[in-house]
Amino acid sequence: MAAASRGGGGGGPKALELLRALPRVSLVNLRPNPGAKKSEKRRGRGRHGGKKSGRGHKGQRQRGTRPRLGFEGGQTPFYLIIPKYGYNEGHSRRRQYHPLSLQKLQYLIDLGRVDPTQPIDLTQLTNARGVTIQPLKRDYGVQLVEEGADIFSAKVNIEVQMASELAIAAIEKNGGVITTGFYDPRSLEILCKPIPFFLRGQPIPKRMLPPEDLVRYYTDARNRGYLANPSNIPEARLELAKKYGYVLPDISKDELFRMLSTRKDPRQIFFGLAPGWVVNMSEKKILKPTDERLLRYYSS
């Protein structure tokens, strides 16, 4: 009714003006839009006393005694003859990595939500609301995906949990640095929500090492793993540059080289904060242990 009737008057609330002029709304004045209410089909009301009422002629169809869905007349049906296989077995226990496309990363940088002049961490991405990680739902972090590799043009120092080869190439082509690091679920929860953790008053724990099946991934320089031998990384960079055909920029000549080369220690969760420290947010202080045993434990 609002779309159909158009009153006069200038711009603004025409509906309000109409309401003033028209008679009171009551059951007499109301009507649904044409085509909104379709009357139902009632069977058995036709000529010749309704006849078959859409049930067909004789047999199980008319008599309503058809067997269950999937029954094949006695032959072992399809759903029983195919053997079981554990395709989805343990699916709820598998590690999940939230995808982050290069397109989205570029969008976040363009809108100023993520600062490319500081090292980009999962905390920075979460604070910018670029990704939402749920460590309790078996999320183990973020994976960099190559959607948007052709438009990506930001020089960043980024740390993710997994990255595909083309994504690594796209970042290094623009003069950036990418590292892949592992966070166990407890460290991941602390990384994603640092403030509630600091308010708990517990010392920052040390990050655990990856499980056996991931050690291979993180010790490989081709994945820019954080446990890989640092001397293998320049070779891997050259190899990728040759493979994808771009000139590898020399980042040591860059003014932001210091920022680009900051990397976290394998046992560190946050940049600049070591494990074992307690953060006092109300007094803006950091408490550090001095006991020999604690120092040895936290630096092991």
Partner 1 sequence: MAAAVASAGLRRRPGGVWGAVARRLLQSQSRDKPETRHPQYPGIVESTEEYKFVERLIPPTRIPAPPKHAQYPTPSGWRAPSDTPPALPYFVRRSRMHNVPVYKDITSGNRRMTVIRKIEGDIWALEEEVKEFLTQLAGKPPPIQVNEITGSIGIKGYFDNELKEWLLNKGF
In the complex, the residues that contact partner 1 under the rule CB under 8 A are: 2-3, 6, 10-16, 103, 106-107, 109-113, 118, 123, 126-127, 148, 151-154, 194-195, 198, 206, 209, 212, 215, 219, 227, 229-231, 264-268, 270-277, 279, 281, 284-291, 295, 298-300
Q: Are 276 and 292 in contact (CB under 8 A)?
A: no
Measured CA angle at 18 (ends 14, 21), to 5 deg: 145
Task: Give the C-alpha separation, 276 to 157, whole Å.
Answer: 26
> 3-state DSSP call for residue 157?
strand
| Shortest spacing between CB 180 and partner 1, in angstroms | 16
Would you say 20 or 58 has its CB closer to partner 1?
20
Q: Which is nearer to partner 1, 2 or 69 (by Cβ)?
A: 2
CB of 22 to partner 1, least distance (A): 15
Q: Are strands 139-145 and 162-163 parallel, antiparallel or unpaired?
A: parallel
Give the residue with the Cβ less far from partner 1, 238 or 281: 281
- Smallest gap from residue 215 Cβ to partner 1 (A): 4
Closest to partner 1 by CB, 32 vs 272, is 272
Give the residue with the Cβ less far from partner 1, 5 or 60: 5
Minimum Å gap between C-beta 227 and partner 1 is 6
Q: Residue length, the chain?
A: 300
Contact in structure between 161 and 97 (CB atoms under 8 Å): yes
End-to-end CA distance of the chain: 74
Q: What is the DSSP letter of 299?
A: T
Q: Bridge-partner residues for 144, per DSSP?
A: 100, 163
Q: Least distance from C-beta 191 to partner 1, angstroms? A: 9
The answer to whether 155 and 109 are in contact (CB under 8 A) is: no
Q: Is 236 helix (H, G, I), strand (E, B) or coil?
A: helix
How far from the centroid of its chain's Cα atoms is residue 63's Cα? 53
Q: Which is nearer to partner 1, 55 or 104 (CB)?
A: 104
Nearest approach in angstroms of CB 86 to partner 1 is 23
Smallest gap, in angstroms, from Cβ of residue 133 to partner 1? Answer: 14
Cross-strand partners of 157: 177
| Assigned token pair, 169 | 């190439």
DSSP symbol at 58: S
Residue closer to partner 1, measured from CB, 55 or 236 = 236
- Collapsed DSSP state (helix, strand, coil) of residue 214: helix
1 vs 63, which CB is nearer to partner 1? 1
Contact status, residue 101 vs residue 76, Cβ threshold 8 Å: no
